[in-house]
């Protein structure tokens, strides 16, 4: 299993300004060409965590999807983050995963009711794992982190990605839960959060993190606006799972979404 280099983009987001955010992020990642395998952006990276779902939603294949595809092609890597997408008569908080070969998506399953997200967006029904450069990757969005059954490793992923707008007031929860997901699932975990303050006055401390399967920190961006590359060791992951095959004793159950 080959190594994978991930680039974490921890930045401020302009409120409900997709073009400005795309332009800013494009300038931040311009130097990543041929240096990384995967670029991870925050949740709702074009607007911030806005509940103006209909006003902000793009159609499938809209400007941001096209931009992500263009960036993936130009930089020779995968680029992922979530945006509001109107598909049919519903709006989803949709995580888009773009590669030079195409685009796949995951719709956020667990909607943050404390902000009224469940009233403005539709919940996704499917758990999504994709393969990229020899790594099986689970796509997850923010509040999904609090529901370990949904992210349970069924021996179908090596890396879990969590993109977020996770407020500073609950930063300890974020840091603790990311570490727990890595340890319990024998998988690498990356969480990418934003910094700054949004139009609702919520502050974000960043704390974007990379953990290996033993829960050891490989990268910690703390509270700085920063773009950082972090290498993940493929052989180290395989070796650890062989030495500590806890997954063989996992409880056998299946999950059915309502």
What phi, psi does 200 have (nearest 5°)?
-90, 0
Question: Which among 16, 43, 58, 117 is annotated as catalytic?
Answer: 43
Distance between CA atoms of residues 89 and 209, nearest Å: 35
Helices (runs of H) and strands (runs of E) counted in the chain: 6, 14
Q: Are 72 and 113 in contact (CB under 8 A)?
A: no
> Is 129 assigned a catalytic role?
no
All residues at 6 or more sequence positions from 221 whose CB lies less than 8 Å from its CB, including other chains: 8, 10, 206, 207, 208, 209, 228
SS3 of residue 34 by DSSP = coil
Looking at 11-134, which runs of residues are DSSP E strands?
A: 38-40, 78-87, 90-99, 102-107, 129-132
Question: Which among 16, 142, 179, 188 is annotated as catalytic?
Answer: 142
Q: What contacts 24+ positions apart, CB below 8 Å, involve 106-111? A: 106/139, 106/140, 106/141, 108/82, 108/141, 108/142, 108/143, 108/144, 109/141, 109/144, 109/147, 109/150, 109/257, 110/143, 110/144, 110/146, 110/147, 110/150, 111/143
> Is 108 assigned a catalytic role?
yes
Burial class (CB in 10 A: 0-12, 13-18, 19+), 88: exposed
> Is 11 assigned a catalytic role?
no
Q: What is the phi-psi region of residue 116: left when phi exceeds 0, alpha when psi lies from -120 to 50, beta otherwise? A: left
Question: Which among 11, 108, 117, 188 is annotated as catalytic?
Answer: 108
Residues annotated catalytic, as ranges: 43, 108, 142
């Amino acid at each position: 299993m080959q190594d994978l280099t991930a680039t974490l983009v921890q930045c401020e987001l302009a409120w409900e300004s997709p073009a400005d955010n795309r332009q800013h992020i494009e300038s931040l990642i311009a130097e990543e060409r041929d240096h990384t395998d995967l670029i991870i952006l925050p949740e709702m990276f074009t607007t911030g965590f806005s509940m103006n779902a209909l006003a902000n939603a793009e159609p499938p294949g809209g400007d941001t999807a096209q931009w992500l595809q263009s960036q993936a092609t130009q930089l020779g890597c995968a680029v992922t983050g979530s945006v509001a997408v109107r598909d049919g008569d519903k709006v989803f908080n949709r995580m888009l995963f773009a590669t030079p070969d195409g685009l796949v998506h995951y719709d956020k399953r667990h909607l943050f009711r404390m902000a009224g997200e469940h009233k403005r967006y539709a919940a996704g029904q499917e758990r999504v794992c994709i393969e990229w450069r020899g790594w099986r990757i689970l796509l997850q969005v923010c509040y999904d982190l609090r529901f370990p059954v949904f992210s349970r490793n069924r021996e179908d992923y090596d890396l879990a990605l969590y993109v977020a707008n996770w407020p500073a007031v609950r930063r300890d929860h974020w840091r603790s839960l990311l570490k727990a997901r890595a340890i319990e699932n024998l998988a690498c975990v990356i969480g990418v959060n934003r910094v700054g303050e949004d139009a609702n006055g919520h502050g974000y401390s960043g704390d974007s993190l990379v953990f290996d399967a033993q829960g050891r920190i490989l990268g910690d961006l703390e509270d700085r606006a920063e773009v950082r590359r972090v290498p993940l060791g493929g052989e180290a992951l395989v070796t650890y799972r062989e030495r500590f095959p806890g997954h063989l004793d996992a409880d056998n159950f299946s999950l059915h979404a309502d």
